[in-house]
Structure 1
Amino acid sequence: LKWKMTARLQRTTHALVFFGLFGVLEAATIACRNEEGEAVDWFIFYKLPKKQDKESRETGLEYLYLDSTIRSWKRSELLINATRSALGRTLQQLYETYAFKDNNTAYVLYNDGVPKSAGYSRNFGHTKGLLLWNRIQGFWLIHSIPRFPPIPEEGYDYPSTGRRNGQSGICITFRYNQYETIDSQLLVCNPNIYSCSIPATFHQELFHLPQLCAGSHSAKIPVRHLTTLQSAQGQSFLHFAKSDSFHDDIFAAWMAQQLKTHLLTETWQRKRQELPSNCSLPYHIYNIKAIKISHQSYFSSYQDHAKWCISQKGTKDHWTCIGDLNRSPHQAFRSGGFICNQNQNIYQAFQKLVLYHEDCN
């Protein structure tokens, strides 16, 4: 009996040590994080526009939130500039990496609108994002916010320029074996990297990012490239990357035809700078004109800097894509991309936001 109890005690101790270690690993593992600071496979945020009327309490910092553990949008009780917001918690890992001078972790921050600068760089892709990874895993944040995020030295903040309009973004946790593919996709997108650190330990597998980080690249850039990526928990994503030599509307000329679905698109509609809905090809593109948050609350696409699209209701494949290009004549000449998947919860969440769209003609 004594022997049995000792064996059981040892097993329990081993289990506790294992779970204790697992807890430490969990805390040390780079991942997208929810508002509780817990690792999630992916999350999506939709920052709502600042309401223009005087009575409104909307500050332009409220956001909707969805992740791999919940079924539909929840309106966050936190503001997006809070360090406890999903973005704040996730980016905290970047600021800690920088503070501890961690030589086993790499990061790349890119944006055509660099924080604290006045203009936008047209020599690079119209693409915005952040990567943080080690040899186990990391995350990729793709977003639409100009001048975001701050450089690692400065810690988390949200720019005042990102308040007025709606903004969108997706964070996905990836195992390290996906980074070689991400590396090639970013070459096509030609990002404007404004802060980066890629220690030598990664240079064998990752060819383009270290060069882009150093401000040079020698590779021939493909006109466009489509690839499949898998999140840490096995969710499939398609990533479309177009270079600036693909002179066409990414939605109509490529994505809709490739996905074989009519698409409803929500991108920034600036007056006299928008492409009309397009039904000239087998699969059509319809511009969303207004977004509804609730029965009483909606906003126009003119107030929305978010960039996403979904399959039209009634089509058999339910695609949702989030990225960084607008439907505008100028953006046909810019590089950038979209990440798409067929998760039902994501599709339903975005489907419910569509108030109405514009038909062709």
Structure 2
Amino acid sequence: MTMARNRTMMKLLFSVGILFQGCDSDVKCRDDNGKEVDWYILYKLPNVNGYGLSYLYMDESTNGWKVSKEAINSDSGTLANTLKPLLDFYKRKTEGLGYMLYNDQPPDPYVAPASFGHSKGVVMLDKQTGVWLSHSTPKFPKYRSKDFWPHSGSVNAQTFMCVTYSYEEFKEIGLQLKYIHAYSYDSDIPGTFHNDLQCVAQRSCYPKKKPWFRKKMLTSLNGRKFYSFAKYKRFGDDLYSGLIVNYLKQNLYVKSWGKMRRPLSSNCSSSIPHHVYNVKKVKIPEMKPFSDTVDHSKWCVTHEDGWTCIADMNREESQMKRGGGAICTENRAVRRAFRSMVQSHEKCKLASPHSDAQDREL
């Protein structure tokens, strides 16, 4: 009888221990001070006048950009604080933590086939909370190293977007990554976690039938709404003019890499409901405007009040046939911060009174 009571007590203590562990989850987006935040966006500056490791920071409390006092590769900066559960896992495997690192330009010794999506990110979660950190930086994070920042990462401007979600939202995130067809180069997803996350981590799943895209609203831990757009390679069109503009229903300014082999021109065609303009120069307070040739970030912003999307893809011919996606927010402060950065854009080759009016406004 005593042994039975002891076993019952042990089960109870184990359950309570799991409960307390879950409530004290460390897997959340964190700022420069290590404080938990619902979401943040980073804009790492290009290596112009020594700014290569500097970054702008924004979350719900900042009402726009602020300059971080930390370097992007600092072990006390935003990225290091957010990645701490993963870096600790490398030292000693932590029970109950799952993660997946994906990148179409992964660190050595991996090479991603072009059949996979043009996408980069970190998924990290336990059974309570998790983060989806989408970004544009090749070779980030480095393979199983406490020195997570790649040496090549200081050259160009990059963007990062981190959102904290409850565990249940990662079922939908797994499906989005399935459509993106993300190339996972390092992962450890426990067998009790969502099936779609497991198969994406194992590079063993992708969409089998139409539609070749998926749009999903995701709700952050604090109840904020984010919209994830994902397209599979068989979608066969540009992420921005073929998908996003159809839903946001406004003209878009798109920032993508300026050193592409076959870039797509700004699109004012009557075949799409609104126009899509390529951003050519970005301006940041106290810096001279810099061109898209030193800015590897991918994002778009609506012309009027509305939307900002942090994206995976460039506007380039070959990427019409690759998977990728974007995470969008209808946050006025975010939209205002990104819209103010548009210094100049490429005019449309197809002239129209509407496109000319837009060009004059800038």
Asked if TM exceeds 0.5, the reply is yes
The one-letter code sitting in structure 1 at the alignment partner of 2:181 is: N
Deviation at 1:218, TM superposition (A): 7.3
Seen in structure 2, the aligned counterparts of structure 1 residues 359 and 221 have a Cα distance that, compared at 3 Å, is same
CA distance in 1, matches of 2:310, 2:175: 19
Q: Which of 128, 131, 152 is the aligned partner of 1:136?
A: 128
Counting only pairs closer than 5 Å after superposition, residues 227-306 of structure 1 correspond to structure 2 as: 227-270=216-259, 272-280=261-269, 281-294=272-285, 296-306=287-297
Q: Which of 111, 119, 134 is the aligned partner of 1:127?
A: 119
Q: Which of 151, 168, 183 is the aligned partner of 1:177?
A: 168
Seen in structure 2, the aligned counterparts of structure 1 residues 296 and 170 have a Cα distance that, compared at 3 Å, is closer
CA distance in 2, matches of 1:329, 1:336: 14
Identity of aligned residues (%): 37
Deviation at 1:295, TM superposition (A): 5.2
Does the aligned pair in 1 maintain the 2:169–2:218 contact within 8 Å?
yes
Counting only pairs closer than 5 Å after superposition, residues 277-356 of structure 1 correspond to structure 2 as: 277-280=266-269, 281-294=272-285, 296-312=287-303, 315=304, 317-356=305-344
CA distance in 2, matches of 1:353, 1:26: 39
**Corresponding residue number in structure 1 for 2:87:** 95
The one-letter code sitting in structure 2 at the alignment partner of 1:57 is: G
Deviation at 1:83, TM superposition (A): 1.1
Deviations 1:321-358 (A, max 9, x none): 00110011111111010000101111111112111112
For the pair 1:57 / 2:50, whether they are aligned, the reply is yes
Partner SS for 1:232: coil
Deviations 1:84-139 (A, max 9, x none): 11011111121123433222111011111111248553121111000110111110
TM-score after normalising by structure 1? 0.86
CA distance in 2, matches of 1:296, 1:78: 18
CA distance in 2, matches of 1:182, 1:275: 29
**Corresponding residue number in structure 1 for 2:213:** 224
The one-letter code sitting in structure 2 at the alignment partner of 1:127 is: S
Partner SS for 1:77: coil
Seen in structure 2, the aligned counterparts of structure 1 residues 246 and 104 have a Cα distance that, compared at 3 Å, is same
RMSD: 2.0
**Corresponding residue number in structure 1 for 2:5:** none
Seen in structure 2, the aligned counterparts of structure 1 residues 144 and 213 have a Cα distance that, compared at 3 Å, is same
**Corresponding residue number in structure 1 for 2:7:** none
Q: Which of 58, 80, 85 is the aligned partner of 1:66?
A: 58
CA distance in 2, matches of 1:327, 1:218: 23
For the pair 1:107 / 2:107, whether they are aligned, the reply is no
Deviation at 1:68, TM superposition (A): 2.0
Partner SS for 2:192: helix
CA distance in 1, matches of 2:162, 2:279: 24
Does the aligned pair in 1 maintain the 2:118–2:323 contact within 8 Å?
yes
- Structure 1 residue runs without a partner (length 5+): 1-22
Partner SS for 2:325: strand
For the pair 1:43 / 2:31, whether they are aligned, the reply is no
**Corresponding residue number in structure 2 for 1:213:** 201
CA distance in 2, matches of 1:108, 1:270: 29
Does the aligned pair in 1 maintain the 2:171–2:196 contact within 8 Å?
no
- Identify the range of structure 1 (179-188 vs 153-162) with the bigger mean alpha-carbon deviation: 153-162
Does the aligned pair in 2 maintain the 1:113–1:121 contact within 8 Å?
no
CA distance in 2, matches of 1:330, 1:188: 17
CA distance in 2, matches of 1:201, 1:247: 35
Does the aligned pair in 2 maintain the 1:286–1:357 contact within 8 Å?
yes
The one-letter code sitting in structure 2 at the alignment partner of 1:266 is: K
TM-score after normalising by structure 2? 0.86
Does the aligned pair in 2 maintain the 1:169–1:323 contact within 8 Å?
no
The one-letter code sitting in structure 2 at the alignment partner of 1:274 is: P
Partner SS for 1:132: strand
Does the aligned pair in 1 maintain the 2:207–2:232 contact within 8 Å?
no
**Corresponding residue number in structure 2 for 1:192:** 183
Deviation at 1:221, TM superposition (A): 5.7
Seen in structure 2, the aligned counterparts of structure 1 residues 268 and 100 have a Cα distance that, compared at 3 Å, is same
Does the aligned pair in 2 maintain the 1:166–1:303 contact within 8 Å?
yes
Deviation at 1:256, TM superposition (A): 0.6
Deviations 1:230-266 (A, max 9, x none): 1111110110000000111110111111111110000
Does the aligned pair in 2 maintain the 1:143–1:324 contact within 8 Å?
yes
